């Protein structure tokens, strides 16, 4: 690693988007393509500045479709690749992300969420892309979705995203928001030697390049290394050959794409609990809203209130057992989100929805304040 500016180890004052770039460079991302869009532009600007200095390639694409497809191609050429965008651009990327799922391409996509739909409020924060991040592609599929809550986590989660992408041969979406992306905080930048890096496994001799039964991931056949590689977004067998009229091949392929993520949820899903492990009043929050929820729980616990906070660091896949244990004694479940209610629907699958209290706030990018959560909790007592 060539240490330049704020990439040097130690503590730095970094914006969340800037920390994301540092994390990507430390993870040895060497290709980045994007189309300008707020509030993700700082990622592109800094990637354009830094990538050439470490032997990488930056492309400003003509649109978000080209950006994601270029990143897919770079990944197949053997380098770690990333793109970044916000709501409207993320919508344009969905077909490309679906293609990446189908051909099992390691890829990192950063979505710095803003208020929509449409052009919306381009520089204001929201969490309205959560459902799109999890389910935005057509067809049956599964990806990994992360939700950092700080500039430090923008760095750390970006490194983790590249490792997860390579381990499971899947697109990993970092679903952040304008508040996290534009907040300046002290960030500890680790030394490059401290970075855990999952190495892509190349196929063994006579090993298929795709698919399987969901229990293991095939080796990744980098184009240009002598493998006989067939890559198609159409239904294909384990060697990549089109089998668009074979229902058994299609079922086997799609079940593999889903199972390799969902049946490893216990390994992929990460979370933290603040306060009671099995509280009477449970709060579930993610991303920037987690910060307000954390402060609210601290104040409520200082008053002796039996409350706990569950924060999913990975939004998808969900390891349901962890959430169910946390909710086992809950009389009320408070779910604050900066949208009209998206992630709460996953909670409704696990507990009587009559116990769930929503806090939903949209418009102007105004955060959910700790006082709003405290007021709602005390109103339940």
Q: What is the per-residue pLDDT across 253-304, written as a single tens digit (0 to 9) for each? A: 999 999 999 999 999 999 999 999 999 999 999 999 999 999 999 999 999 9
DSSP H helical ranges for the chain: 16-26, 41-50, 64-76, 87-102, 130-135, 151-168, 178-182, 247-262, 265-268, 287-302, 320-326, 344-348, 370-378
Q: Is the pLDDT of residue 55 over 90?
A: yes
- Residue ranges covered by each domain of the chain: 5-194, 270-378
Residue of 81, 165, 175 lying closest to 135 (CA atoms): 175
pLDDT band at 216 (very low <50, low <70, confident <90, very high): confident
Helical (H) or strand (E) element with 187 = strand 184-189
Distance between CA atoms of residues 343 and 359, nearest Å: 12
pLDDT band at 213 (very low <50, low <70, confident <90, very high): confident
- Asked if the domains at 5-194 and 270-378 fall in one CATH topology, the answer is yes
Q: Return the CATH fold of 5-194.
A: Rossmann fold (3.40.50)
pLDDT band at 4 (very low <50, low <70, confident <90, very high): low
**375: Cβ contacts below 8 Å, ≥ 6 apart:** none
Q: What is the 3-state secondary structure (H, E, C) of 254-282?
A: HHHHHHHHHCCHHHHCCEEEEECCCCCEE
Q: How many percent of the chain have pLDDT more than 90? A: 93
Sheet holding 80-85, edge to edge: 57-60, 29-34, 80-85, 107-113, 171-177, 144-146, 314-316
Residue 106 DSSP symbol: -
| CB 95, CB 43: distance < 8 Å | no
Q: Is the pLDDT of residue 328 over 90?
A: yes
Residue of 195, 134, 211, 198 lying closest to 165 (CA atoms): 198
Token pair 């909710």 is found at 327
pLDDT (0 to 100) of residue 5: 64
Task: Please tell me the pTM assigned to this model.
Answer: 0.97
Segment 81-107 shows an average pLDDT of 98
Q: Is the pLDDT of residue 6 over 80?
A: no
Distance between CA atoms of residues 187 and 172, nearest Å: 23
For the chain, give me the number of helices (H) and strands (E)?
Answer: 13, 14
Residue of 343, 342, 340 lying closest to 311 (CA atoms): 343
Q: How many percent of the chain have pLDDT more than 70? A: 98
pLDDT (0 to 100) of residue 1: 39
Cis amide prior to 117 (ω within 30 degrees): yes
pLDDT tens figures, 152-177 = 999 999 999 999 999 999 999 999 99
pLDDT band at 7 (very low <50, low <70, confident <90, very high): confident
Pick the CATH number of 270-378 from 3.30.70.360, 3.40.50.1220, 3.40.50.920, 3.30.360.10: 3.40.50.920
Per-chain mean pLDDT for the chain: 95
pLDDT (0 to 100) of residue 3: 45
Q: Is the pLDDT of residue 2 over 80?
A: no
Three-state secondary-structure class, residue 56 = coil
């Amino acid at each position: 690693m060539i240490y330049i500016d704020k990439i040097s180890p130690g503590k730095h004052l970094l914006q969340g988007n800037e920390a994301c770039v540092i994390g990507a460079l430390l993870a040895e991302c060497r290709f980045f393509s994007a189309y300008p869009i707020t509030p993700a532009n700082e990622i592109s600007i800094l990637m354009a500045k830094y990538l050439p200095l470490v032997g990488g390639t930056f492309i400003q694409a003509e649109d978000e479709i080209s950006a994601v497809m270029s990143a897919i191609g770079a990944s197949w050429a053997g380098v770690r690749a990333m793109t970044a965008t916000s709501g409207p651009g993320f919508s344009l990327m969905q077909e490309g992300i679906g293609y990446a799922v189908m051909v099992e391409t390691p890829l990192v996509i950063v979505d710095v969420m803003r208020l929509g739909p449409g052009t919306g409020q381009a520089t204001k924060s929201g969490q309205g892309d959560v459902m799109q991040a999890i389910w935005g592609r057509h067809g049956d599929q599964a990806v990994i979705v992360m939700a950092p809550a700080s500039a430090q986590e923008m760095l750390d989660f970006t490194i983790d995203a590249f490792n997860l992408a390579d381990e499971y041969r899947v697109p990993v979406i970092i679903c952040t928001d304008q508040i996290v992306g534009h907040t300046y905080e002290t960030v500890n930048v680790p030394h490059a030697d401290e970075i855990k890096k999952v190495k892509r496994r190349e196929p063994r001799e006579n090993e298929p390049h795709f698919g399987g039964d969901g229990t293991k991931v095939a080796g990744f056949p980098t184009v240009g290394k002598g493998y006989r590689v067939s890559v198609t977004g159409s239904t294909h067998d384990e060697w990549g050959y089109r089998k668009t009229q074979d229902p058994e091949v299609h079922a086997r392929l799609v079940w593999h794409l889903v199972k390799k993520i969902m049946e490893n949820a216990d390994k992929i899903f990460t979370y933290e609990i603040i306060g009671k492990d099995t509280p009477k009043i449970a709060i579930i929050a993610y991303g920037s809203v987690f910060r307000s929820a954390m402060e609210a729980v601290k104040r409520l616990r200082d008053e002796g209130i039996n409350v706990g906070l569950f924060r999913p660091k990975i939004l998808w896949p969900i390891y349901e057992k962890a959430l169910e244990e946390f909710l086992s004694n809950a009389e009320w479940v408070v779910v604050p989100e900066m949208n009209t209610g998206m992630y709460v629907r996953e909670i409704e699958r696990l507990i009587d929805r009559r116990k769930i209290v929503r806090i939903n706030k949209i418009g102007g990018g105004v955060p959910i304040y700790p006082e709003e959560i405290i007021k709602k909790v005390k109103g339940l007592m």
